[in-house]
Chain A
Amino acid sequence: MNSNDSLMAYVLRLADNALILGQRLVELVAAYPELEEELANANFALDYLGQARMYYTYAGELEGMGRSEDDLAFLRDENEYRNFLLLEQPNGHFGDSIAKLVLFESFYLLQLEALVHCSDTRVAEIAARAEKEIRYHLRHNTQWLVRLGDGTEESHDRAQASVDALWRFTGELFAPDEVDNVFEAEFEGPDLFRIREQWQKNVAAVLQEATLEMPEEQWMVSGGKEGQHTEHLGFMIAEMQYLQRVHPEATW
């Protein structure tokens, strides 16, 4: 894999992660029982969609085939998506969504902090912008996980079940493959082993404050980075892509 291919593949993963999580959050718009959380969720979704647009635009330029951000978002099939499996999991209840966000954003923030110092200027610039947004999200979502875990017996048990159910999808975040390795070597990209160590420390601290147990080491499911997804992604993108598939090239 040459360095341009690796860069394109790496940026596309960042884009797919942001889009798929953003789309999951969009599904929750107008569904929150509290106005404040409704606003928070919509803000998060907007940040992710904005980040996705910047990554896709760049990925399209790197590919050099004239594909736009919309082509990449709306005209690819399920097996062409490179997002983490964690992010395509259904929203479930509020605790599930919060647990998913805390697990992912604890990783993504560390990834962005490293990307700010990578040697590709464009990625570094987008990361610098995104880092500020994700830091703000994570503070909010962490507070919620602590409140749920350290809340009532019911909320504690449900938050623990959410963390336990999602844990098996976290291994993929730190399992470097060729794209990660080439990106790290050629573009001073993130060292996933170091990120994993820091992530475990940070997540352990949050779980402890939330009076939740850190799940045991276990078998981890992976495949998202290679396009092998859980059954949930297909349904999700079918809804997301409907308009572009039925009315190709429709614009506002």
Chain B
Amino acid sequence: MVALAISREQVMAWLGDVADPEIPVLAITDLGIVRNVTIQDDVVVELTPTYSGCPATEVIEQSVLDALHRHGVENVTIKRVLSPPWTTDWISEDGRDKLREYGIAPPASGGSKRELLHGNRDVACPRCTSLNTAVVSEFGSTACKASYKCSDCLEPFEYFKCI
């Protein structure tokens, strides 16, 4: 079989149009869950789950298959990669801006373990940028979010929690 005449960059660009089903403003490439793309006889896309029980995992895998099939790539293999585990640090700068515009406070960079042990950092309201915000609940509508409210503009908002 001859190597496919498409580039890794091209495939990444197509994956940039695949939306996260739970936060549709984010592409899966913004979210940092596309771990690698390799092209030999087939296209191998390595994806990593955000949470063990993330119900979006299967939907995302199907969306990737659909997107590549749409562009005429028939031989696609999806590999689920667990290591190293996904962290919110992998959300791109572009992704953070999109989250903010959508009304979700992006996670603080470099959070991870430290934040879990020592409480929350300052979380800026995605609407008015005030730091005068308070946790309503450590949990939210999906596994990856916590619920906050802004004490200045009084709007409730979601925070993409650091893990």
- Could you tell me which A residues sit within 8 Å of B by CB distance? 35-36, 39-40, 43, 46-51, 53-54, 121, 124-126, 128-130, 132-133, 135-136, 139-140
Q: Are B116 and A50 in contact (CB under 8 A)?
A: no
B83 nearest CB across to chain A (Å): 4
A43 to B55, CA, bound (A): 11
Q: Nearest Cβ distance between residue B77 and chain A, in whole angstroms?
A: 17
27 A-B pairs, CB-CB below 8 angstroms? Answer: A35-B137, A36-B137, A36-B147, A40-B138, A46-B53, A46-B54, A47-B53, A48-B53, A49-B53, A50-B53, A50-B54, A51-B52, A53-B53, A54-B52, A54-B82, A121-B83, A124-B83, A125-B85, A129-B52, A129-B86, A132-B112, A132-B116, A132-B163, A133-B163, A135-B113, A135-B116, A136-B138
Alpha-carbon distance A46/B51, docked complex (angstroms): 9
- Interface presence of B32 (CB below 8 A): no
In the bound complex, residues from chain A placing their C-beta under 8 Å from that of B54 are 46, 50
Please name all residues of chain A whose beta carbon is closer than 8 Å to the beta carbon of B85 when the two chains form the complex.
125, 128-129, 132
Instruction: Please give the distance in Å from B49's CB to the nearest CB on chain A.
Output: 7
Task: Show the binding face of B for A, using Cβ within 8 Å.
Answer: 49, 51-55, 82-87, 112-113, 116, 136-141, 143, 147, 161, 163
- Specify which chain B residues have a CB less than 8 angstroms from the CB of A136 in the assembled complex: 116, 138, 161, 163
CB distance from A16 to the nearest CB of B (A): 16
Q: Is the CB of A46 within 8 A of B143?
A: yes
Point out the residues of chain B lying under 8 angstroms from A128, CB to CB. 82-85
Expressed in whole angstroms, the minimum distance between the Cβ of A92 and any Cβ of chain B is: 22
Give the 10 A-B residue pairs with the shortest CB-CB distance, closest first.
A50-B53, A50-B52, A36-B137, A46-B53, A125-B82, A125-B83, A39-B139, A129-B85, A40-B139, A51-B52
Is the Cβ of A36 less than 8 Å from the Cβ of B139? yes
Query: Which residues of B have CB within 8 Å of A49?
Result: 53
User: In the complex, which residues of chain B have a beta carbon less than 8 angstroms from the beta carbon of A130?
Assistant: 52
Taking A128-B82, A135-B113 as contacts, is the C-beta distance between A47 and B51 under 8 angstroms? yes
